[in-house]
Every structure is written in structure tokens, then in C-alpha cells.
Amino acid sequence: MNSIDRLTELFMRFPGIGPKQARRFVYFLLREHSHYKEQLIKALEELKFTGKQCELCFRFFGDKYAQAEDITMCDICRSDARDTTILMIVEKELDMDAIEKTGSYNGLYFILGGLVPPLTEKPSELIRIRELTSRIHASIKDSELKEIIFALPVTDFGDVTTEYIEKTIKQIVGIENITLTKLARGLSSGLELEYVDKNTFDSALLRRN
């Protein structure tokens, strides 16, 4: 396999990228100036050594502090300015990024890493339910958590996931003192949160129930 085919194959592993789009990326790089390719290689090398996954929310981060061995949390989870009484559950990193861009939410997050399809026999293998329950249990023990917000897609998968999580976490001692809410259905059915605009999210957050 030559270098062009090999790089095409690697690009095809990106989400939503097929053979034609992957080959376009390769040809784009071939046409670009060597300086651009050097910058790309440098950025990938830096990501290799500085990229980490937050031990609390599971967000990937690579800020200037990430190289320190003792830094295990992202800037959001480390911040003293965040409201630690609220935990928002999202499906993926892009959802979290989109919500942060609205500037409307100042609590903490937990990234599930997926959704539960209807009629799934082993949902615990598809999302970070063990890590979530551990996080909630620790927050209750520290008397910090007051509200959990479900910010999942307005789809069948999102609804099934929410129902499964609710059923699971209600077994945690002390959860009865925590308010469980969902973003208001002002969000359009089928909407992916990563595409939500500020006004729509503001309305859904304000009218959560």
C-alpha cells in the first residue's frame, strides 16, 4: 500500500468520512505548502503528548497545563467559578462544546460517551453508567449536588437513555434529595445538541422540568 492509499484509509476512520472525502483530504494535503503540513504534523505530535481525558467529566482536553502529570481534570472541572451543585448529562464532547458556546450554563458536566438504543439487552456496556453513578454518589456524599439535568438528543435513543439512567441512579442512597430535570421540549424533535443555537438552548434550559 502506497502512502496516498494509507493516508486515505486513515482519514476514512474519521466519523462520517467515506472513501471519496478521505481521498479529497489527501489531495488537499498534497497541494498544500510544506509549511502547512509541518504545522499539522506538529499539532498531532503535541496532541499525542498533551491530550488527556478528564477523570470527572470524560472530556478530552489539551490545554497548556495538561502536560503536568498531576493534572487529571479539564479546565471546567478544575474551575472554582463553576456551580458544583448542578450536573448536566450529555451524550458527547461536541454537545458539551456547543452548550459552553452559548454561555448560558455554568454548572458541571458528565459525558456519557453514547446512547442506549431501544430493546438493548446490555445498556451498561454502551454508556458510562458505572462512572456516572460513582460521580453522583461521591457528589451526594460531599453534599454538593442539588440538580441533575438530562441534556440528551430529542430522539428515541435519547429518551430510552434518560429512562435507563433515571431508573439506575434512583437506587443511589440520597438521590431522593436531588432534583432530576430535562431540557424543555422547545428543542426540536430529532435535534442534535451539537447544532443547537443560543436562543433555543436558553429557552430549553430556562423551561427545564
In the chain, where the domains are located:
3-49, 82-206
Domain 82-206 - what CATH class?
alpha beta
DSSP string, the chain: --HHHHHHHHHTTSTT--HHHHHHHHHHHHHS-HHHHHHHHHHHHHHHHH-EE-TTT--EE--TTTTSTT--S-HHHH-TTS-TTEEEEESSHHHHHHHHHHT---SEEEE-SS---TT-S-GGGTS-HHHHHHHHHHHHHTT---EEEE---SSHHHHHHHHHHHHHHTTSTTGGGSEEEE--TTSPTT--GGG--HHHHHHHHHT--
- Residue 65, pLDDT score: 56
Instruction: Print pLDDT tens along the chain (209 aa).
Output: 788 899 999 999 998 899 999 999 999 999 999 899 999 988 888 777 677 899 999 999 876 555 556 778 999 999 999 999 999 999 999 999 999 999 999 999 999 999 999 988 899 999 999 999 999 999 999 888 999 999 999 889 999 999 999 999 999 999 999 999 998 765 555 566 777 767 777 767 776 76
Q: What's the one-letter identity of residue 42?
A: K
- Residue 199, pLDDT score: 72
Assess contact for 109 and 57: CB atoms under 8 A: yes
- Residue 62, pLDDT score: 75
Retrieve residue 110's grid coordinates. Answer: 458528565
Assess contact for 188 and 154: CB atoms under 8 A: yes
* Neighbouring-strand partners of residue 180: 148
Give the position of cell 429557552.
203
Name the CATH superfamily, with its identifier, for domain 3-49: RecR Domain 1 (1.10.8.420)
